[in-house]
């Protein structure tokens, strides 16, 4: 049973496409990899992978002709995207850095919950110029990826909170499904794929101009559903 409070116990952030606009980096890396094996990888093909666990994405890439073991594909793509991040910096989604900083300033715990590898997530966190997260749960930290609730339940366990008192922020249908399945108040901020018809509690077109007060209001509006 979740308790109703004037602020959420924590805000749990998805990374790729929600906090940072790295989806084009992933798509570019996928395209180069598929083409290196003589295949073709279109934007529509790449949309299949948005929000997926990396191992599941690797299996799809194998079907498009990438003749590598799944783990090798995951490591290769992670290396390529990590190199872009180090050379070009962190491409925050509009309003994401500002909202994250405001949550921190107001004492609301935050966690990064991503299907990227832990080393990739830590690379991103290290490039943020303030103490942004209390903890990171990554794709290699859980047995079952999103859309299963495991990553968000793990974050709640580590933060020692009731997941029903948390707010999840996601940009993909897969991520929204994971957030809802966990029992958290789930906010969708669509980016590359539409979230129309998703099970998000609310959809915001952007995080630009949003503050911790907006997140508190969101949690308050939907807390009764989880009580």
Q: What pLDDT, in 10s, does the model give residues 136-167?
A: 999 999 999 999 999 999 999 999 999 999 99
What proportion of the chain, given as a percentage, has pLDDT over 70? 96
pLDDT band, very low/low/confident/very high, at 3 (cuts 50, 70, 90): very low
* Residue/partner pairs of 98-105 with CB below 8 Å, 24 or more apart: 98/207, 98/208, 99/207, 99/210, 99/211, 99/212, 99/215, 100/13, 100/19, 100/128, 100/132, 101/130, 101/132, 102/211, 102/212, 103/11, 103/212, 103/215, 104/130, 104/131, 104/132, 105/212
Segment 107-119 mean pLDDT: 96
Structure-model confidence comparison of residues 4 and 52, the more confident one: 52
Asked if the model's pLDDT at residue 2 lies above 50, the reply is no
Q: What pLDDT does 35 receive?
A: 98
Domains in the chain, CATH or no CATH each? 10-21+91-226 (3.40.50.1000), 23-88 (1.10.150.240)
The whole-model pTM stands at 0.89
Q: What pLDDT does 50 receive?
A: 86
pLDDT band, very low/low/confident/very high, at 8 (cuts 50, 70, 90): very high
């Amino acid at each position: 049973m979740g308790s109703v409070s004037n602020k959420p116990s924590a805000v749990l952030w998805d990374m790729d496409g929600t906090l940072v606009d790295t989806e084009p980096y992933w798509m570019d890396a996928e395209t180069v990899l598929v083409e290196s094996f003589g295949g073709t990888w279109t934007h529509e093909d790449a949309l299949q992978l948005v929000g997926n666990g990396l191992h599941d994405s690797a299996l799809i890439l194998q079907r498009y002709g990438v003749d590598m073991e799944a783990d090798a594909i995951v490591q290769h793509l992670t290396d390529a995207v990590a190199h872009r991040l180090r050379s070009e910096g962190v491409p925050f989604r509009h309003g994401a850095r500002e909202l994250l900083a405001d949550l921190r300033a107001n004492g609301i715990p935050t966690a990064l919950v991503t299907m990227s590898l832990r080393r990739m997530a830590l690379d991103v966190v290290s490039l943020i110029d303030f103490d942004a997260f209390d903890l990171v749960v990554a794709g290699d930290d859980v047995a079952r990826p999103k859309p299963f609730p495991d990553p968000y339940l793990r974050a709640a366990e580590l933060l020692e909170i009731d997941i029903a008192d948390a707010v999840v922020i996601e940009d993909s249908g897969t991520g929204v499904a994971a957030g809802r399945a966990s029992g958290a108040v789930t906010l969708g901020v669509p980016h590359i794929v539409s979230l129309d018809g998703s099970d998000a509690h609310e959809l915001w077109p952007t995080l630009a101009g949003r503050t911790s007060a907006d997140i508190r209001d969101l949690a308050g509006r939907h807390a009764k559903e989880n009580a």
